[in-house]
Structures are given as C-alpha cells and as structure tokens.
Structure 1
Amino acid sequence: ELSCGTLVVDLFVKDCPKACLNFLKLAKLKYYNNNLIFLVEKNFLIQSGDPTGTGKGGRSIFGILNEKSIGNGEKEAQNFKRGSQSPKHAPSMKTVGYFEDEIRPDIELNKKGLLCMANTGPNTNTSQFFVTLRGDDLEYLNGKHTIFGEVVEGLETLDTLGEVFVDEKHRPYQDVRILHTFVLDDPFPDPDGLIAPDKSPETLRPGEETVEERIAYGEDIDKKDEGRTKEEIEESIRKEQAKSRAEVLEMMGDLPDAEIKPPENVLFVCKLNPITMDEDLELIFSRFGEIKECEIIRDRETGESLQYAFIEFTTEEQSQEAYFKMNNVVVDDRRIKVDFSQSVAKIWNKWSMSKRAPGTIKPIPKMHDSKEGNKNTPHSYTTRSDTSNRERFPNSDRHNHRSERRSHRDRHEKHRHRDRDRHEKHRNRDKDRGRDHRRDRYRSRSRSRERHR
C-alpha cells in the first residue's frame, strides 16, 4: 500500500527463489514500511527499498539475520549511515547481506510493471528494488538485474507515480512512501531467528532515514483548491499558464504589459472569399450598429486579400450581437467564421508611439511633383503622426499605388523576356557562323590536297 495507491505483485518463486525469499521476509518484518520512493524517472522506473532514502543503503534478510547472530546489531544499527560513516563503523559484508543474482535468459525486461532487484554490480543485491514504467527500449538492462516479480493489479497507480513532480535528482517534491506491506502467500518457511512484529511501526519516517524532510504525503499542497470542482481547478490552471506566457512576452518586448487585454468591441472574421471587398463587408455588418473601422488584411506587395478581416464596432453589445448572428453565415459563397479578436496590435502601436521621446520621431520625406520644382530644391519633411493607415492613405490612393507597382513589374518582366530572346538569337547566330567557318576551312584543305596530288 503506497501513499498514492495500491500495488499487487506476483513473485517468480520458482525462477528466483532467493530474491523472492528476501523480499517476502523483509515485508514480514515491516522493513519496507514508510520507506521513501526516492527515485522516479518518468516513463522509465521507480525505485525504493532503502530505509535511509539516499539510494546507498539497505540490507537483505540474510544480512539482518547475520547481524542478530553476531550479536552487535544494535551497535551497527546506530552507526549505519551508508555514505557518511567511517570505515571503522561501516557495516560488514555479512551484516549488509549481499546475495547473488538470479538471471534467467527467458525472463526479459519487455513489459511495464516488472519488479527487479537494484544493485551496484554483479551479485550485490540487498533490499532495494525498482519497478519498470514502460516495456520498450530496456534491452540493455537484461542480464544485469534479477527480475523476480510483476505488478498484476494497480498499473494505474504506476501511471500516477510517473507523473509526480521531481527535482533534478528525480526525487519527488512531495514524499511518496510505502505505507504497509501485506504478504498474501508465503511458500518459504521462516528462517531461524526471524521474528515478525505484531504491528506496523508507528513512526512516519524510518529511524535510518537521513535525507531532508519534504512535503509530507498527507499534506495538502494547494489549499486554495478546497471546495472547488475539477473544472474550476482546470480553468484556474489555464489562467495561470496564460498569465505566465504573457509575462514572458512582456519580458521579450512583444507586449507592453502582461495585464493588457484585447478590445472587446473588435471582431475577427476569417475564411473570406478573395473577391470580398472592405465596403461589402462593412455594409453586411453595419446592420448591427455603427462601425468605426472595417479592414480586410491584404498582402503588402500584391494587394491581394489574405481572406481575414477585423471589424471594430462602437460598443461591445453591437459586437456581441454580430458575433452570435454572423458566425457560419455564407458571404460570397464562403461560410465565414466570426470570433472576438485577440489582437492587441493597435494598443501596442499607441503605447509604443506614446513612449517615444519628443523629437525622436523619424521624418518621412514628403513627395512633390518634379514639374513644380527643380532638382536643387531641398526636400520638405513631415513627422509620422499617430494616425491609422486608412487616414494617411485612402483606399483609392492605396489601390492606385498598387496598380502602379503592378504595371511597373509587368514592364520589367516584358523587358527581361525581350532581352533574353535577343541574347538567345545572338547565341544561335554565332553558332551558325562558327559551323560555316569550320565547313569552309575543311573544303579549302580538301582542295589543296587535290592540287598536291
């Protein structure tokens, strides 16, 4: 029984009798009670069986029985702090109780929930064990660890264990402990000197545990979740994640403020027909109220519609009514999608312009007709004001500029193709001349040979 669920395991008593006997007798002695699951590697394994909680301790049942037979168990138990004790007080090989591996070639690490002995090398098994959390890509561990059992009930508990939050050493931030061990069937007789306790230990931590205390397994980590439903908790988590992402964007300079919110009177319309014009869309949506601005976003170079637009109403009620009545409506043979805009581009532009110091605005040259002035006349400049593109460039002028660019591009393409044809013609002519020259030279040589004969 774990602090996060229950596991039922079957042991391979015929294939690995020594490892199974060790595990069963330690469970009878309540040796595993309150032990930490000190190692959790997601989608790999969990490890426990060390009363010190460090991964460097643990003794087998054979070492415990040898310790009792030697008669110095109490003294060594007090000095048993693996990794920190001096060689003088270190437990001996007999009291640790290493026993040999029981490797079976027909038993492989190929499934989730296999129970294996943890070791530090060949034939160094004690009390530590691990359970696999996956069944693939574990072939490299075959032949190195004794596989002596498998989980038959409680695989969902393993899934829960695999998702706990851990530190850089893979120890859970909130303690996960083995609370109780129950032996349902023991085919091995008890060895001499084994006396099982009448009840489980009352302490929440083993006496040999040396790691720092963390959040207890029964302690509520987040008391603010008390009395809230699962949906409310998930909604709260989503809001916190959105806030953290906004703070990151603010630090990167992509948002003026993490608390900024998009305007609620602006609608986002997508899946438009490319032939739909701004005036058409504004006329359709104007029946819901006064429209401050309606703009279909177009390509900068070609002027073609990108098939989405932004519509700004004067009030939020008008935008809400337009949203409920215009979503999935067919416009110009296209079923459009309408949603509330999440863009803060205009707010960002106003904020960035307001943050600029006076006199630092980049001047824009003012265009003038070459007929009215000579080339020696100095250019006049004007400052960039905080006005929209629509106010600075009306739709008609903007389309005129685009048509001029297109005509210029067409003329350029025409000249380029004409030059290419001209070069191709000259190249072919040169080839023909070279061919004629070689033919004439060959004929002259033939005539000279005839005269010589």
Structure 2
Amino acid sequence: MSVLLETSAGDIVIDLLVDYAPKLCENFLKLCKVKYYNFSPIHSIQKSYSFQTGDPLGPMAPQSDGGTSIWGLLSGDPADKTFTAFFHPKLKHLERGTVSMATAPHPSDPDQRVAASQFIVTLGDKTDSLDGRAAIFGKVAEGFDTLEKINGAIVDDRGHPLVDIRIKHTFILDDPYPDPPGLREPSSSPLPTKEQLATVRIAEDEELLDEEANEEAAAEAERRRREREAAAQALTLEMMGDLPFAEVKPPENVLFVCKLNPITNEEGLELIFSRFGKILSCEVIRDRKTGDSLQYAFIEFEDKKSCEEAYSKMDQVLIDDRRIHVDFSQSVSRLSEVWRNETNAKRKKAAMRDGGGWGGVKELEKRRQYRNEPVELDEGRGGQSRVVGARLVATRAIDAQSVISTGMESGTGPGGMAGIATRNGAAEAHGETAIEIANTTVTTAIGEAGTIVNGPTVIDAIMTGIEGG
C-alpha cells in the first residue's frame, strides 16, 4: 500500500505499514484521496532531522486550524477532528525517511496523544527523540533525492523555507480500505484557495535569475565533467579489451528490472512481461556460489517497441509483494562477450590456416632460423618436418657477399676455408655420420671466418661446399 506525493522539490513514494498502524494509514490514505494535502506547505525543516507538513494553510496563516482527520472533515464535528494515535512498540525512528503522524496531548488526558492530518518525515538517522511524540505509519520507498533537496533548503529561524516547497498532488497507488460514508473523490485536483495563495512567500518559479543562471552553469559544467569522465573510462575499457570500441552503446531492446523478491524467478518474470511482446531472453542474476537471487534481472525483447511499452507500464508494479523498478539497461557486457568470442574465433581460425594450432603459426617459427642447435618441431603443434643443421649469423655488412664469392672461386679466404672444410668433413663418412662430422668441421672453420668478415651469412658458401663434396 503506497502513496505518491508530488512536491515542488520532487516526488516521494511512501509505503504504508498497514499491519502495524491501520487507523493511521487509513486516515492518511483517505485525506490523500480527497486531495486534502494539495498545496500544503512544507515547514519546520530541521537540517538532518525532520520536516513537517499536512496543514493545508500552514502555521504562518492566522486562520489555520492545524488540520483535521478524515472523519472530522466528512462529519464537520469538532469532536472528530482528532483521533487517538497508536504507537506500535516495534516501530522506532531509526532511519531516514520514517513517516509518522504529528501528535499532541489530549486536552483532558495528558498521557493520551491525538493526531489529525499533519505528518513528519525524518531527514536523518537515529531521530529516536520523536519516539512517543510522533506515531509511525510509513516509510519513504523512493524519493531520497527529494529529501536531500528539502534538507538543503534555505530556511528562516523557524525552519520555514524562503522559497516555498509545497505538496502539488497526491496519488494513491493502492488502497485496501473501504471509503467511509460521505467520501467523494474529486475528479481532478482542486485549485489553491485564496487563503492558501495568501500564504505564499516566494513561489517556486520566482527565484532570482542570477541564481538560476549560476545553477544552470554549474549543472552544465557537471554534465560536461561526467561526459569526459565517462569517455575516459570507456577508452580505458577499450584498451583493456573489455569493450569493442569506446563509443559502444547499450542495446535498446533490453530492460533492467530491480527490487525483485528473492523468490521471483525467470519463468514468472517472462510470463508477466511477455504480454508486451516476444521475449528473447530473461535472466535473473544470481550469486555464483549460493545460487541465491541478487534481486535484479535483464529482459531482452525482440523489438524496441515492446521494450518501451513494458518500461512505461511495468515500473512500480507489485510482483510477489515487491514494488519493482524498471529501466532501460545500460549494460554492454553481453555485447562485449559476443565481440570477444567472435574475435577469438577469427584469431584461432587464422592460426589454424597458417600452420596448425595456437602454437603452430608460421611467423613464430621464423624466430628459430638463427639458432645453432638442432631443433625438432612437434608435428602435433604445427611442425611439418624434422630439421637438423647449423644456422649461423656471421656478418651484417653487405660487402661480405663479394668476399665469400671471391673465396669460393680462388679456394682461398674465408669462403674457401668453409668450402674445403666441408668437403673434407663430408668425404670421411657417409649418411648422418658424414653430416655430423661436416658440422663439426664447419663450426671450426666458420668460427675462424667469423673473426674476419662482417657481412651477410656464409650459409650459401657452406651449402656450396657440401654440394661440391
């Protein structure tokens, strides 16, 4: 059972504790229903403590009677103006947003307290000094940002705001009580009376222009700062590989649903939301270890129109005794996961095409050509053959090629030494034994050549020497 208060500072949703304070809740609900609270001023603001409202004229009007209960309003009998307030022993003023009826001692019995129409909303925690003086009947469910605005209002020495803050409208979201005899709900919100208009100090739309300009400039600066911060964070996520690109936007067909009852599951949510269109997926997010619901979910529709219709009609709806909140999803985690999977699949496919699995890419094997020890490539990881030989980087200067060629023709010089040594080594044995002896001789000869030349590799001279042998 809830009531929405639309104030000049913002909206406040109050959940009523009908099981603990039934008569207090009934009085409040019926006064909201007949629009009794419309244009009521918010007054007696005590920073980080509480504010009070519920008197249509407010304490500054000389003709104010302090408000009346719904029964006194309907009957017109002064005896019904107030009623005995009930204080539940389990309800305490311990947290911000506690809503309670303002009470006063009964004229004939000081130990008994009575209530009428005015109520108090706490602006801070541990306001237990109100216990026994204000009868709790509800708690603020949404609109804590509005409470912050009221808490920060500029007030005079009596706690009255210099710029009026008033209740504009009241909307009953759920009413379990039958209407008392004589109650007639107005078809529209009534206009303020002359008495109410006479209590206006500075209206909401009469603030100083320079203050508005300053606030607009500050708001614009804050907006730009947030945009820059968001762009920097997106760029960081892109560099880390968590986003495909920094300008990625969330999907327009996915709803974020929170404040769920822990017992609510995917089947129930999908059944409720499916009346707006075809649902592609519905996932209640759960704890990885325990499997318990984290009380929020994502619902993906087939098209954007169904998603928008569900958003407009399902916010603040009761599901499993919990009033859910619905918004468009701002998450891009699923898009990032799809992008990563596609990217990894492309990389793996390219690696298989270039020589095998992840370890068989041909470009990686090129690094082995400069090693002078025997290398065996595993066929299961992309190797295609067995190579046994000696590779050596001897020089870097281009002129060394001519030195080697001259040595091969004349049989002298480092090129000739390498060729002769290789032929001698190969002539002494056959098969792999000859190659091993040649390797030993080549290593000795080229070691000497390496002290003379500084050009390209002498591998061509070595291979020529082997062919000549």
Give the number of the structure whose residues are more often strand, by fraction: 2
Query: What interval of TM-score do these two structures reach, taking the shorter chain for normalisation?
Result: 0.3 to 0.5
Q: Name the TM-score, length of structure 2 as normaliser.
A: 0.42
**Greater length-normalized contact order (CA 8 Å, ≥ 6 residues apart):** 1
TM-score (norm 1): 0.43
